[in-house]
Amino acid sequence: MNNLSNKSTVQEIKARFDQDVERFSNLEVGQQTTIDASFSMELIVDSIIAYSPNLKTVLDIGCGAGNYTLKLLAKKAPLDCTLLDLSAPMLDRANERITEVNTGNVTLVEEDIRTANLQENHYCTIMAGAVLHHLRDDSDWEKVFSKLYRLLKPGGSLWISDLVAQEVPAIQQLIYDERFGNYLTLLKDESYRDKVFDYIEKEDSPRSLNFQLNLLEKVGFRKVEILHKNLCFASFGAFK
């Protein structure tokens, strides 16, 4: 990845999300700029339950307003939930929504996953919805994937739904600039497309699906599973 030094800092990302709680609190619509957001959320939740019928503990990384955990709790409750996010307003909203429907323990962690002090070999499942694209260089990605592996119990699972890049420049242009650009224009207009592209360029540094699947296996996950890919968004799992 080029020009990573020009990307948003952690504090800049935190400040943006502090001001965006309402937009991320829509459980049914999900995040509209993310293609198939609601479908992917349901698919991940159903996959977690299918794989872990005795689920007890969940870690939601970059939980935002708590949509992924709420979807999971609608089908499997009570659970002991650890909610991690940079944004205190997001955590407050997530806690408010989740404690209304869950009698299990809820732990709030206002921190970056790279530096958060979390218990290893503890979680049955970890969810990471639209968050890991904020990781930067190869070392960053490998350290976080290794950490997520260590946090899971043996037999635990990690589930990721995120913006991804293509490895071939011509295909990246087709998938991202043309097809995703057309999707954003149809959502609103060309100025909205340009606004979304601008903040992705400033804030995000996604990697390809192949890069992430290979890295998951490199850090120790015994199997990986692709659930869904539509243009520049993918949902997938990994098993300790």
Domains of the chain, earliest start first = 14-168+207-239 (3.40.50.150)
In the numeric block, which tokens belong to residue 93?
A: 């909203």
Model confidence, pTM? 0.94
Rounded average pLDDT over 155-164: 98
| Distance separating alpha carbons of residues 232 and 35, to the nearest angstrom | 8
Q: Which amino acid is at 27?
A: L
Least confident of 28-42, 116-130, 195-209: 28-42
Q: What is the mean pLDDT of residues 216-237?
A: 98
CA nearest neighbour of 232 among 191, 179, 169: 179
Q: Which pLDDT band, with edges at 50, 70 and 90, does 26 fall under?
A: low
pLDDT band at 163 (very low <50, low <70, confident <90, very high): very high
Tell whether the model's pLDDT for residue 29 goes beyond 60.
no
Q: Are 64 and 110 in contact (CB under 8 A)?
A: no
Three-state secondary-structure class, residue 233: strand
Omega prior to 89 cis, within 30 of 0: no
Q: Which residue has the higher pLDDT, 92 or 27?
A: 92
> In this structure, what is the dihedral angle of CA atoms 199, 1, 208, 151, given to the nearest 10 degrees?
-90
- Specify the pLDDT at position 6: 87
Mean confidence (pLDDT) of the chain: 93
Query: Distance between CA 96 and CA 90 in Å, rounded?
Result: 10
Tens-place pLDDT, residues 74-85 = 999 999 999 999
Is residue 186 scored above 50 in pLDDT? yes
Of residues 143, 61, 146, 67, the one with CA closest to residue 109: 61
Rounded-to-integer distance, Cα 23 and Cα 30, Å: 9
The tokens describing 58, both together, are 């969940």
> How many CB atoms are located within 10 Å of the residue 209 CB?
22
Q: What is the pLDDT of residue 1?
A: 46
Residue among 214, 208, 198 nearest 234 (CA): 208
